[in-house]
Structure 1
Amino acid sequence: MTRTEALDTVALAAKLLYKNGQTSQRVVLAVERLGHALSLPLTLHLSWSELALQVEGMPYSEMVGAMPLGVDMGKVLGVMRVIDQVCEGKLPPEDARCAVEVAASHYAPASTPRFALFAALGAAALGVIFGATEAVSLLLMAFSAGLGALFRRWLAKVSENPFIQPLSAALLAGVVAAAADRLQLSGAASSLTALCPCMILVPGPHILNGAIDMARARVAIGLPRLTYAGLLILAISIGLLVGLEACGAALPPAVSSPGVPFTADVTAAGCAAAAFGTFFSIPWRLLPLPIAVGMLAHGARWAAISFAGADVATGAFVACLLAGLVVAPVADRLHLPFAALGFSAVVSMMPGFFLFHAASDLSELVSIGSRAPVDLLIGIVSNGATAFLIILAMTFGLILPRMLLSRFLPPASRRLPTQVENKMPGFMQGAD
Structure 2
Amino acid sequence: MTALAATLLFTHGQTTERTVVAAERLARVLGVAVKVLPYWGELIVKVDSAPISHIVPATPLGVDMGRVLAVTTVIARVCDGTLPVATAQSALESAGRLPPASTPRFTLFAALGAASLGVIFGALDATSLLLIAASAAIGALVRRWLSGLTHNPLIQPLCAALIAGVVAAAASRIQLSIATTLVAFSPCMVLVPGPHILNGAIDLARMRIALGTARLAYAGIIVLMICAGGLFGFTAVGGNLVVAGPAPPAPLIADVIAAGCAVASFGAFFSMPWRLLPLPIAVGMFAHAARWALITAAGAGAPMGALVACLLVSVFTAPVVDRLHLPFAAVAFSAVVSLMPGFFLFNTATGLVELVAMGPNAPATLLTSIVTNAVTAFLIIMAMTFGLILPRMLYERLRPSAA
TM-score range, shorter chain: over 0.9
Deviations 1:77-99 (Å, cap 9, x if unpaired)? 01101111111111222222111
Unaligned runs of 5+ in 1: 1-8, 416-429
Q: Return the letter of the residue paired with 2:49.
A: G
Superposition pairs of residues 23-422 of structure 1, within 5 angstroms: 23-105=15-97, 107-184=98-175, 189-410=179-400, 415=401
| 2:29 partner amino acid | A
Distance 1:206 1:222 in 2: 9
CA deviation after TM superposition for structure 1 residue 186, in Å: 6.3
| Structure 2 CA distance for aligned equivalents of residues 210 and 137 of structure 1 | 35
Cα distance in 2, alignment partners of residues 329 and 308 from structure 1: 30
Deviation at 1:260, TM superposition (A): 1.0
Residue 423 (structure 1) aligns with? none
Which stretch shows the higher mean deviation, 197-206 or 307-316?
Answer: 307-316
SS at match of 1:336: coil
Query: What is the one-letter code of the residue matched to 1:204?
Result: G
Output the CA distance in 2 between the equivalents of 1:374 and 1:298: 34
8 Å contact kept, 2:173–2:239: no
Indicate the SS of the match to 1:50.
strand
Taking only the aligned residue pairs, the percentage that are identical comes to 61
Deviations 1:117-152 (A, max 9, x none): 000000110011111111000000000000000000
Q: What is the Cα deviation at residue 104 of structure 1?
A: 2.5
Separation (CA, whole Å) in 2 of partners of 1:49 and 1:290: 30
Amino acid at match of 2:319: P
Alpha-carbon shift at residue 16 of structure 1 (Å):
0.3
CA distance in 1, matches of 2:351, 2:243: 9
Provide the rounded CA distance (Å) in 2 between the counterparts of 1:137 and 1:91.
Answer: 52
SS in 2 for 1:233: helix
Q: Is the 8 A contact 1:241 1:250 kept in 2?
A: no
Letter in 2 for 1:120: A
Closer, same or farther: CA 186–152 of 1 in aligned 2, 3 Å? closer
- Deviation of 1:65 after TM superposition, in Å, equals 0.1
Give the whole-Å Cα distance in 2 for the aligned partners of 1:202 and 1:257: 21
Counterpart CA distance in 2 for 1:250 and 1:74 is 42
CA distance in 2, matches of 1:184, 1:326: 45
Q: Secondary structure, in 3 states, of the residue corresponding to 1:158? A: coil
Amino acid at match of 1:147: I
TM-score normalised to the size of structure 2?
0.98
Shift in Å at residue 220 of structure 1?
Answer: 1.4
Shift of 1:376: 1.5
Aligned AA (1:220): A
Question: Which whole-Å CA distance do the structure 2 matches of 1:160 and 1:86 have between them?
Answer: 32
- In structure 1, which of residues 2, 10, 28 is the aligned counterpart of residue 2 of structure 2? 10
**Cα shift at 1:44:** 0.6
TM-score (normalised: structure 1)? 0.91
1:43 and 1:403 map into 2 onto residues whose CA distance is 21
The RMSD of aligned alpha carbons is 1.1
Corresponding residue pairs, total: 403
Moved more, 61-70 or 361-370: 361-370
Write the letter of the residue equivalent to 2:384. Answer: M
One-letter amino acid of the structure 2 residue matched with residue 35 of structure 1: A
- TM-superposed deviation, 1:76: 0.4
1:190 touches 1:252 (CA, 8 Å); kept in 2? no
